[in-house]
Chain A
Amino acid sequence: MDDYIVSIKDVSMNYHTIDGETKAIDKISFDVNKGELLGIVGPSGCGKSTVLSLIAGLLEPSSGEIYVGGKVSYMLQKDYLLAWRTILQNAVLGLEIQKKLTEENKNYVIDMLRKYGLGDFLNHYPSQLSGGMRQRVALIRTLAVKPDILLLDEPFSALDYQTRLAIADEVWKIIKYEEKTALFVTHDISEAISMSDRILVLSKRPGRVISIHEIKTSGEQGPLNRRKAPEFRDYFNEIWKELDVHV
């Protein structure tokens, strides 16, 4: 387990507003191994997104240490494709901002768009695409800057259920194919089990680590196959109990 690329040690985070102070996460520690897909589940408001923002460097922790050994790229809850930019222009946004929009990088993005079924839509506007296609563009935009670590913040929550299953499968394949490390936040236990190599379970606010599960299923891998695996239910029940959901 010493092959980690991200390491979080005793990290706490407090938010300050005029009305007071909110403890979002409390002394969290965990490592992420190179090439693994780590799912983070927890009740809403448990600071899952905060963890990603801290790793991305968008926020400074109140205390604790964060080690990130690679280039990070963040995919938000919705696709946030800019309506006035074409698909290609949206996909190269990150490169543009980081001033790395070379001919070579642009072709890399075009190749990716073609490879993932968006070749005919390079000059279309986002409003002309379906939700699933838009999500794929958002992922390619995230991959375009050639990150080592992908941060996915409930990347499918804006999609309908059918599309969600299909896109999750596709995103999983893309991440594995491109050999990326990924942290993946969700409140959907099934989704986490279907996609992750390991799952980190957080408590409700202030977020603490309850447990970490290694997910191993028999049979073929990939989110859709995993949902059919016999172990799926057991993992689900175990995590469900830990989350201790009361309505």
Chain B
Amino acid sequence: MYEAEIPERMSKEHQAYLKKVHQINVSVRVCQIMIVVAFFGLWELAGDMKWIDPFILSQPSRMWATFIQLLHTGNLMYHIYVTVYETVVGFLLGTVLGTLIAIVLWWSDYISRILDPYLVVLNSLPKTALGPIFIVWMGSGEAAIITMALAISIIVTIISVLNGFKEVDEDEIKLLKTFGANRFQILQKVVFPSSIPTIISALKINIGLSWVGVITGEFLVSKAGLGFLIVYGGQIFKLDMVMTSVLILSILAALMYIGVCYLEKFFLRWKLA
């Protein structure tokens, strides 16, 4: 973007400045790539040279082989699908329900005050402790796993979105009142739109939390999914399978995070104008 739009009338000094900015950007990217390459390269080398035991620590080439093998014979795509599906559903439910509950609490300060201590307790409770309860209630399957993801993300969503709502400028609300706005219009025209940055940062946290919920859930109960592959690989001492699954997991999580960042760019385009 820096090179493409240099008009001819730009001064030498400004050109030099843009060039420098561009150079730094490039060198940051080069370093990032080099770290990945060096990390996997060293890992591979260390395995070959017997500095480490590939049986315990695996090795990139072995992970690649496992990846291909899982792809052909191990239903890898199915496992990925299961985990992504559970995560996306848990994430969306957590975000939507959390936001709806936050709206209710914003609407009624009275209810909000009553529920406040319960939210505090639920927020500090490690939700994974509820895992066995969900399994008893919902059976050892998808429903329990999604509930787990939901449980982990919903309370944080409620608290952070509600805080966002409460931080809205009182005078902007007054402005709407001067035009005779009702409470729903205040929510729709000011409170919700001005909380979108807060909601999006809640989304970013939620994505990570949903992954935690799903993987923990899969550790506990599942018969499919990346969490299952990790646990199963550990049990049969196939660290190649564990490492491969972890790597796939980190790539998927990063992709989803990038997705939310695009969403942010779209919703906050007025900030860029």
Instruction: State how many angstroms separate the Cβ of A124 from the closest Cβ of chain B.
Output: 7
What A residues does B180 contact at CB under 8 A? 97-98
Asked whether B190 lies within 8 Å of A82 as measured between CB atoms, the reply is yes
Distance of B38 from chain A, by nearest CB (Å): 43
**Residue of B171, B179, B181, B185 ringed by the most chain A CB atoms within 10 A:** B179
A177 at the interface (CB under 8 A from B): no
Give the contacts of A63-81 with B (CB-CB under 8 A): 73-74, 76-78, 80
Nearest CB on B from A138, distance (A): 9
Instruction: Map CB proximity to B onto A41-61 as digits: 1 under 8 Å, 0 otherwise.
Output: 000000000000000101000
B160 touches A (CB below 8 Å): no
A residues contacting the other copy or chain, number (CB 8 A): 22
Say yes or no: A125 contacts B181, CB within 8 Å. no
B175-208 CB contact bits vs A (8 Å, 1 = yes)? 1111111000100011001101000000000000
Known A76-B171, A124-B273; contact A82-B179, beta-carbon cutoff 8 A = no
**B229–chain A nearest beta-carbon distance, Å:** 44
Among B171, B172, B189, the residue within 8 A (CB) of A97 is B189
Q: Is A83 part of the binding interface, using a Cβ–Cβ cutoff of 8 Å?
A: yes
Verify if A225 is at the interface (C-beta below 8 Å from B). no
Q: Chain A residues with Cβ under 8 A from B172's Cβ?
A: 80, 82
**B189, A96: Cβ atoms under 8 Å?**
yes
Residues of A with C-beta under 8 A to B118: none
Please judge, given known A-B contacts A80-B169, A80-B172, A128-B273, whether A74 and B178 are in contact too, CB under 8 Å. Answer: yes
In Å, the complex CA distance between A124 and B273 comes to 8
- Which A residues lie within 8 Å of B273 (CB)? 124-125, 127-128
Interface: B270 (CB within 8 A): yes
Q: Does A145 contact B (CB under 8 A)?
A: yes
B175, B185, B190: most-surrounded residue (chain A CB, <10 A): B175
Q: Which B residues touch A76, using CB under 8 A?
A: 171, 174-175, 178
A-chain residues with CB within 8 Å of residue B271 when the two chains form the complex? 83
Asked whether any CB of chain B lies closer than 8 Å to the CB of A84, the reply is yes
Asked if residues A97 and B176 are in contact (CB atoms below 8 Å), the reply is: yes
Residue of chain B at shortest CB distance from A77: B171
CB-CB under 8 A from B196, the residues of chain A are 84
Task: Mark contacts of B118-136 with chain A using CB atoms, 8 A cut-off: 1 yes-contact digit, 0 otherwise.
Answer: 0000000000000000000
Q: Which residues of B contact A35 (CB under 8 A)?
A: none
A174 to chain B, nearest CB (A): 18
Cα–Cα distance between A247 and B175 once the two chains are bound (Å): 33
Chain B residues positioned under 8 Å from A93 (CB to CB): 175-176, 179, 189
Please tell me which one of the listed residues A84, A94, A124 contacts residue B179 in the complex, with CB atoms under 8 A apart: A94
A residues engaging B (CB < 8 A)? 56, 58, 73-74, 76-78, 80, 82-85, 93-94, 96-98, 124-125, 127-128, 145
A-B contact pairs, 30 of them (CB 8 A): A73-B178, A76-B171, A76-B174, A76-B175, A76-B178, A77-B171, A78-B171, A80-B169, A80-B171, A82-B172, A82-B190, A82-B193, A82-B194, A83-B270, A84-B193, A85-B270, A93-B175, A93-B179, A93-B189, A97-B176, A97-B179, A97-B180, A97-B181, A97-B189, A98-B180, A124-B273, A125-B270, A127-B270, A127-B273, A145-B179
B interface residues with partner A (beta carbon < 8 Å): 169, 171-172, 174-181, 185, 189-190, 193-194, 196, 270-271, 273
